[in-house]
Structure 1
Amino acid sequence: MINHIGIIPDGSRRWAKKNKISSVKGYFISMEKLTEVIDFSFSNNVKSVSAYLSSLKNIQNRSEANINEFLSSQVYLSSQLLPALLEKYKFKVNVVGNLYHIKNEDFVRAITGLVESTKTNTDLIINILIAYDPVEEIYNSFKTNPHSIKDGFWVKEDLDLIIRTGVIGRLSDFLPLQSSFAELFFYRKYFPDLTIKDMENVFAKFLYRKRRFGG
């Protein structure tokens, strides 16, 4: 059974370049695809979805223009796509990362509003990883509860399954302490090209894998 799935939606800019459209449109299309993936996951009894939308290094190292293009798609996700999905599923949205690093007020307003409006929902969870750094997660956890560090993690549920698209076969600091026994699937296609059939195939393969958890 898949309780917690991780998505690393890589390839939006390269897909946009390949299809001769603007980067910002590529980001918007990727957020529509992410919403489809979340919808599929919840409809197949997944309880938590963690989406790795940016690392802290992404925010620190990319140009301000590119970051604002990317964050405009996050406003779209937070103010339109996910609120529409709330009509079908009652999920809670968590921000995983430090919004201190984000200077785009439109995005901060949109995501904090969504977090506030969904905070009483408990059955389903969407974790939005933005400006995420696992070192910050560990440091924050240690300050919060030095005697039980895991209890202070931003994401408390271990991952069962991680899907990454694009041409890079690594996790890139995606929830390393929650990924110890996660099953990994890498699709060598850009995220906007991921299909529901791909998701069905991954779920089917997961169910056939024998998970040993160190045994």
Structure 2
Amino acid sequence: MSNLPRHVAIIMDGNGRWAQQQEQPRVKGHEKGAEVVRDIMTFASRHDEIRSLTLYAFSTENWKRPKAEVEFLMKLLSRYLKKEQHVYLENNVRFHAIGDLSRFSASLQKLIRQTEEKTAHCTGLHHHLALNYGAKDEILRAVKTLQEDGLELTEEALNSALDAPEPVDLLIRTGGDQRLSNFLLWQAAYAELFFTRTLWPDFTPRELQSIIDRFKSVERRFGGL
């Protein structure tokens, strides 16, 4: 029996380098990358085997980038959520933001909550967008939640307190680098890792399907024989 890519997670890397190759400002790479998010999300929503798709959009470390770029990314995120809400609804996709949203502006937090509420009834793909997300931060917040609730710290309890508790089956990183960059470290404990040199703005549903086909041939032993 082949593996099923129930939960696919992607580190979307390469927007800036793509723009530089095109001799355009870095922001143009981010704009193109947002279009690819829509394409990949739509493809996943129509894929018979994918149940969850988690995309790494903005990390807890990305605040270190130039102020102008960070401000542009916040505006781009706002435009994306407003523009794509109908796409989520038309494809029966439930949207969910993971990460510490408290650092975002009140208006952006409101827009995120509205998108989650408007798609809460959707029963198809569950799309997690990682925003101000870091796996270490996620685990620390989960532990604090259990402590505040007076619950025993067990593997099961900690897992349930995470932003996205589903284990990752297939984790992909675009852009050529081969590292996890503080992304879903707990959930990806037994994920199969695939790295592609393709920059995110050039990543296509066809390449995603090609990676899924390769993933299906991998022997997953989960520590056993």
**TM-score of the pair, normalised by structure 1:** 0.91
Alignment gaps of 5+ in structure 1: none
**Structure 1 residue 42, shift from structure 2 partner:** 2.0
Structure 1 pair 208–123 and aligned structure 2 pair: CA distance change class (3 A): same
| Structure 2 CA distance for partners of 1:22 and 1:136, relative to 1, 3 Å | same
CA displacement at 1:106 relative to structure 2 = 4.9
Change (3 A) 1:137 1:2: same
1:77 aligns with 2:80: yes
Given that 2:89 and 2:119 are in contact with CA atoms closer than 8 Å, whether structure 1 keeps it comes out as: no
2:192 matches 1:189: no
Q: How does 1:40-55 map to 2 (within 5 A)?
A: 40-45=43-48, 46-55=50-59
**Other-structure match for 1:16:** 19
Alignment of 1:113 onto 2:114? yes
Distance 2:134 2:80 in 1: 21
In 2: Cα distance, 1:73 partner to 1:153 partner: 27
Tell me, in whole angstroms, the C-alpha distance in 1 between the residues paired with 2:20 and 2:98: 29
Question: Residue 39 of structure 1 aligns with which residue?
Answer: 42
Partner of 2:132: helix, strand, or coil? coil
Name the larger-Rg structure: 2
The structural deviation recorded for 1:72 is 2.1
Partner of 2:212: 203
Cα distance in 1, alignment partners of residues 113 and 31 from structure 2: 20
The CA deviation string for residues 131-153 of structure 1, in whole angstroms up to 9 with x for no partner, is 11222212221233342211101
The one-character-per-residue Cα deviations of 1:75-109 (angstroms, maximum 9, x if unpaired) are 2321112x132243222211111112224x55333
Aligned length, in residue pairs: 212
TM-score, normalization: structure 2? 0.88
8 Å CA contact 2:45, 2:124 repeated in 1 = no
Q: How big is the shift at 1:119? A: 2.4
Gap regions ≥5 residues in structure 2: none
**CA distance 1:106–1:65, shift in 2 (3 Å):** farther
Q: How large is the RMSD of aligned CA atoms in angstroms?
A: 1.6
